[in-house]
Structure 1
Amino acid sequence: MNIESLLQLIAEFLGTYFLVFAGCGAIMVDIDKNNPMGGTGVAIVWGAARMVMVYTIGHISGAHINPAVTIAFASSTSFPWKEVPGYVIVQILASTLASGTLRLVFNGRHDHFVGNIPPGYDIQSLVMEIIITFYLMFVIMAVITDDRATRQLAGVAIGSTVLLNAMFAGPISKASMNPARSIGPALVWNKYTGLWVYILGPTVGAIGGAWAYNTVRLTDKPLNITKGT
Structure 2
Amino acid sequence: MAEAAASHGCNEVAVNVKDDENSPCPSACRTKRDFSLQFSVSFIQKIIAELLGTYFLIFAGCAAVVVNSDNEKIVTLPGISIVWGLAVMVLVYSVGHISGAHFNPAVTIAFATCKRFPLKQVPAYITAQVIGSTLAAGTLRLLFRGKHDYFAGTAPSGSDLQSFVIEFIITFYLMFVVSGVATDNRAIGELAGLAVGATVLLNVMFAGPITGASMNPARSLGPAIVSNQYKGIWIYMIAPVLGAIAGAGMYNTVRYTDKSLREITKSSSFLKSMNHA
TM-score scaled by structure 2?
0.78
- Cα distance in 2 for partners of 1:88, 1:187 equals 15
Q: Point out the more displaced range, 31-40 or 122-131.
A: 31-40
- Cα distance in 2 for partners of 1:35, 1:144 equals 35
- Cα distance in 2 for partners of 1:109, 1:39 equals 22
Deviations 1:84-118 (A, max 9, x none): 00000010011001000000011233210111111
Q: What is aligned with 2:181?
A: 143
* Counterpart mapping for 1:137-216 below 5 A: 137-216=175-254
Match of 2:98 among 60, 67, 82: 60
Q: What is aligned with 1:20?
A: 58
Amino acid at match of 2:97: H
Q: What is aligned with 1:11?
A: 49
| Residue 34 of structure 1, CA deviation | 4.7
- Cα distance in 1 for partners of 2:40, 2:183 equals 24
Structure 2 gaps, min length 5: 1-38, 260-277
Match of 1:133 among 151, 154, 171: 171
Deviations 1:188-210 (A, max 9, x none): 00011100000101000000000
Larger RCO of the pair (alpha carbons < 8 Å, separation 6+) = 1
Match of 1:86 among 111, 121, 124: 124
- Cα distance in 2 for partners of 1:34, 1:180 equals 27
- Cα distance in 1 for partners of 2:178, 2:236 equals 19
User: Is the partner of 2:150 in helix, strand or coil?
Assistant: coil
User: Is the partner of 2:195 in helix, strand or coil?
Assistant: helix
CA contact under 8 A between 2:85 and 2:198: conserved in structure 1? yes
Q: What is aligned with 1:73?
A: 111
Tell me, yes or no, if structure 1 residue 111 matches structure 2 residue 149.
yes
More helix by share: 2
- Cα distance in 1 for partners of 2:40, 2:116 equals 19
- Cα distance in 2 for partners of 1:34, 1:172 equals 20
Amino acid at match of 2:106: A
- Cα distance in 1 for partners of 2:148, 2:74 equals 12
CA contact under 8 A between 2:65 and 2:80: conserved in structure 1? yes
User: Is the partner of 1:176 in helix, strand or coil?
Assistant: coil
User: Is the partner of 1:157 in helix, strand or coil?
Assistant: helix
User: Is the partner of 1:63 in helix, strand or coil?
Assistant: coil
User: Is the partner of 1:36 in helix, strand or coil?
Assistant: coil
- Cα distance in 1 for partners of 2:198, 2:151 equals 25
Amino acid at match of 1:99: A
CA contact under 8 A between 2:184 and 2:258: conserved in structure 1? no
Tell me, yes or no, if structure 1 residue 47 matches structure 2 residue 89.
no
Deviations 1:123-149 (A, max 9, x none): 100000000000000000000000100
CA contact under 8 A between 2:108 and 2:126: conserved in structure 1? yes
Task: Give the length in aligned residue pairs.
Answer: 221
Deviations 1:162-189 (A, max 9, x none): 0000001112211000000000000000
Say which one has the larger Rg: 2
TM-score scaled by structure 1?
0.94
- Cα distance in 1 for partners of 2:147, 2:80 equals 18
- Cα distance in 2 for partners of 1:35, 1:178 equals 24
| Residue 31 of structure 1, CA deviation | 1.1
Identity across the alignment (%):
60
| Residue 220 of structure 1, CA deviation | 4.4
| Residue 33 of structure 1, CA deviation | 3.3
Q: What's the Cα RMSD here? A: 1.1
